[in-house]
């Protein structure tokens, strides 16, 4: 749908666009599709607030990318994330979220996600590492993660990281206005399995912006034409977690957070925050 910049019968263009969106959503709702609640559709002002949060969030990851090296502790990265975030007037969203004790999740090799930084965890040659950063700025949330290769990494690990990044790109390309969340997961699952990998099913992407985790849940596997209708104004993450071996995972019984592959083989993840526009997805943090 093209953006209208004129008035018709005295109605502002923005009002006409909203009316057209409501008619389209009603059409899908009447046919039994899951349609987002109005509170999930962000206003232009809210999208701008999320974008500004994303600028800080992306800056954190740029800082980590320039500094990460063998011999560095994950606690060092945590301090970098905290210091950069607060110096830019923002707050690390993970810190004290449901009891999470640190400012960032750092997940190495077989750790799928939610790894807790520690002075005792040291990055070493050959590791693959996911750094997952989330930022609150003026009440707006953003969320993204990147993979880092520490020193010389095996070809097998390098390929897993590359294919996982391709999965994120392919999932984003599958997301179109008035398509469905399931289109994203179906595209990711097809690409991962075509390359001999599996998709974690116990964790998912999510809506974000006014809260840390909102609807919709964005599964990274599934079937086209299922799940919530994707409409302009929805803000959400795509963050495929792709395993070298089996898709099943376990949660650490001691810390209650760290998620590992059940078979001990490596896992990789990339994450961006996106907003759905009338022309497809736009990146807000990467």
- 7 is a domain residue: no
- 98 is a domain residue: yes
Q: What is the pLDDT of residue 16?
A: 47
Instruction: Round to whole Å and give the CA distance between 4 and 34.
Output: 27
Q: What is the pLDDT of residue 52?
A: 98
Judge whether residue 62 has pLDDT over 90: yes
- 187 is a domain residue: yes
pLDDT in tens, 99-133: 999 999 999 999 999 999 999 999 999 999 999 99
> Which H/E stretch holds residue 140?
strand 140-149
- 4 is a domain residue: no
> Which H/E stretch holds residue 226?
none
Question: Average pLDDT in the 156-181 region?
Answer: 98
pTM of the complete model: 0.92
- 5 is a domain residue: no
Q: What is the pLDDT of residue 166?
A: 98
Question: Average pLDDT in the 254-262 region?
Answer: 98
- 259 is a domain residue: yes
Sign of CA dihedral 208, 158, 267, 114: negative
Q: Which two tokens stand for residue 78?
A: 């945590």
Instruction: Round to whole Å and give the CA distance between 173 and 162.
Output: 17
- 8 is a domain residue: no
- 3 is a domain residue: no
Q: What is the pLDDT of residue 20?
A: 85
Output the domain CATH number for residue 78.
3.90.230.10
Question: Average pLDDT in the 160-186 region?
Answer: 98
Q: How many domains does the chain have?
A: 1
Question: Average pLDDT in the 211-225 region?
Answer: 98
Per the prediction, the chain carries an average pLDDT of: 94
- The residue that leads in pLDDT, 5 or 26, is 26
Whole domain around residue 137: which residue ranges?
13-285
DSSP classification of residue 4? P
Residue 36: other Cβ atoms inside 10 A: 20
């Amino acid at each position: 749908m093209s953006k209208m910049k004129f008035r018709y019968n005295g109605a502002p263009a923005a009002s006409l666009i909203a009316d057209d969106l409501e008619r389209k959503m009603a059409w899908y709702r009447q046919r039994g599709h899951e349609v987002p609640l109005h509170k999930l559709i962000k206003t232009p002002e809210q999208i701008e607030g999320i974008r500004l949060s994303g600028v800080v969030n992306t800056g954190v990851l740029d800082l980590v990318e320039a500094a990460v090296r063998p011999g560095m502790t994950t606690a060092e990265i945590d301090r970098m994330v905290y210091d950069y975030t607060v110096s830019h007037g923002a707050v690390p969203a993970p810190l004290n979220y449901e009891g999470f004790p640190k400012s960032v999740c750092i997940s190495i090799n077989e750790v799928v996600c939610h790894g807790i930084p520690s002075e005792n965890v040291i990055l070493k040659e050959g590791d693959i590492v996911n750094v997952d950063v989330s930022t609150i700025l003026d009440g707006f949330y953003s969320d993204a993660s990147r993979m880092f290769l520490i020193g010389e990494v095996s070809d097998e690990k390098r390929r897993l990281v590359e294919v996982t990044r391709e999965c994120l790109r392919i999932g984003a390309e599958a997301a179109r206005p008035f398509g469905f969340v399931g289109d994203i997961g179906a595209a990711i699952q097809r690409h991962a399995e075509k390359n001999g990998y599996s998709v974690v099913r116990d964790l998912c992407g999510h809506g974000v912006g006014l809260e840390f985790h909102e609807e919709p849940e964005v599964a990274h596997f599934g079937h086209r034409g299922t799940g919530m209708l994707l409409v302009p104004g929805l803000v959400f993450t795509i963050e495929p977690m792709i395993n070298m071996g089996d898709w099943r995972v376990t949660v650490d019984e001691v810390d209650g957070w760290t998620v590992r592959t059940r078979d001990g083989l490596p896992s990789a993840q990339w994450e961006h925050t996106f907003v759905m526009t009338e022309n497809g997805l736009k990146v807000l943090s990467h």
